[in-house]
Structure 1
Amino acid sequence: MSATTQTENEAKELGFSVRQGVDWSNYVLYRPIYQNSFFTHIFDYHSQKPGVSWSIAHDIGAGHGIASSTIASRFDHVVVSDPNDGYTQIARNLLVEQSGISESKFTFLQQGAEKSSVESASIDLITACECMQWTDTEAAVGEFARQLRPGGTLVMTYYTRPLIVGNERAQDIWKAIFEAYSKNATGDLLDRAFRILNNGFDAIALPEASWKTVKRVYINASQGIASFKINDRVGENRVGKNEERVWVNGDPDWSDNQDIDWLKKYFATWVPVLPENEIRGLWDELECILGGEKVRLETPIAMVFATKRA
């Protein structure tokens, strides 16, 4: 594949979009960074297969290429795709202009997860990080199966808001802030997103006819699946009977210590944006509880792995 940028004729802003209030500068500063353990999980799963190939990967819903650069360090070529207008150009600027990676390493596509121009049975690894909630998951998973070579790897990941640990009063207020956010986050698209997120991707089915060796890893989910729940819009549990479930607690790569100012700036990265003044009382109460001190945060993350059947 040569380095190209392809777009659909109609500009789109789907889900996590600038129109909804996305600010990529703040996103980079206040969202978790994909650390070594994240990619270790991905590359270890992929590498344990006989005859494994590291030729072509497809980073779907790539945003501005947060995960693409590390994927490019292991694969010969990376397709970087996102449906939102302008995002692939942002990714190109980051990966090629700023990071200095050869442009020939990438193909940039403005396309959604449910339908792609990528050739059938041509991809070794698909990553869909922090984007599945904005998709028709049944259609997307079917499309992933079409693109992957037999034995290829699918990885779908999602991290939710961090939990405050060791301070129950602060966690209660933090929870109330996200409850207020979710009341403001309504509409068909967001309702579907919450049904996918609130049980840590357990609402995403991986049919046995297409997938094997399915492994669901839950990191820092100290409250079980409830760690991912923000409101009562929870989808049906569609975990297959033969799927492996793994719980990993206390991963330091998904832990941090932060103060009230950081929490406010992190919260502002969630879309649709809920203005700080609309929940001023909750912020004031949380600030009083913290008393100028930092709190311990642990971010729950779900990582779903699957292998394409022959």
Structure 2
Amino acid sequence: MNPFDLQVNGYAGTDFNGDNLTAESLHHACEALAEDGCAAILATFITDEIPTLERRIGKLVELREKDELARRIITGIHIEGPFINPIKGYVGAHPPQAVKPANVDDAKRLLAAAGGLAKLVTLAPEHDEGSKTTAFLASQGVTVSAGHCDPSLDQLSAACDAGLTMFTHLGNGCPIQMHRHDNIIQRALSLNDRLWLCFIPDGVHVPFFVLKNWLASIGLERTIFVTDAISAARLGPGRYTLAGWDILIGGDLVARSPDGTHFVGSTVTVPRIKANAYAELGMSEADLKQVLDVNPRLAISM
């Protein structure tokens, strides 16, 4: 098994979204990922102002190019935002002041900063007028994923028609309380034949009994497990960062916002995902290979 994690914001004390990324810290993160059995990742950048994203993405691309291990581990970039829903509950840990409607011009700037490494973009279909940005990204060979969003079923279906093929960390990036039937989780589940559905299997972002119900309903053929790891992953309690967030990790190792109202990424690792899958989800080695290795590569055509 060669796990491929599509959503890694940072690892082992290194924040990919920070302004202090160095060659040493990037190499350290990649060493830790390799030691934990993660064969490849998409380094993930969350919402910020476009120039800031360009600078941070460009810095990682520059450092990666000079490091053989980083080139092997970081096979691409996942840009999560800024084209998401700014409403509280949907915006999650992303700074709402930097959120903006999807547009092709800014998408081109972000792709240029990534230097051909952008493999996945998460956006809100309801904030992509006419699905123009989705169609553009798909035409460039970028996998487009819905996330931090609340499109109607018609809007989500139209985005699929335009090239959207994935949903980012389903069950998160949405309010705790929603309509019991017509909500974004149910809409995405109803389109599971058209969407790769990603989950964070840490028992915190989605309780294990809920995830078991969903997996029993949709099967593993379109399921992907991700960590959504931040810099605190692999480490113990303490203070860490994700972009502009100052995060205090307590004894439960849950990454929460300073006010405690929502999660800010995860501290789960691939070894922990495996342990959870065996003990809590009743999955086999073959099942894990599908959701950690095979499906992620199929989803972004690697």
Give me the TM-score of the superposition, normalised by structure 1: 0.31
**Bigger strand fraction:** 1
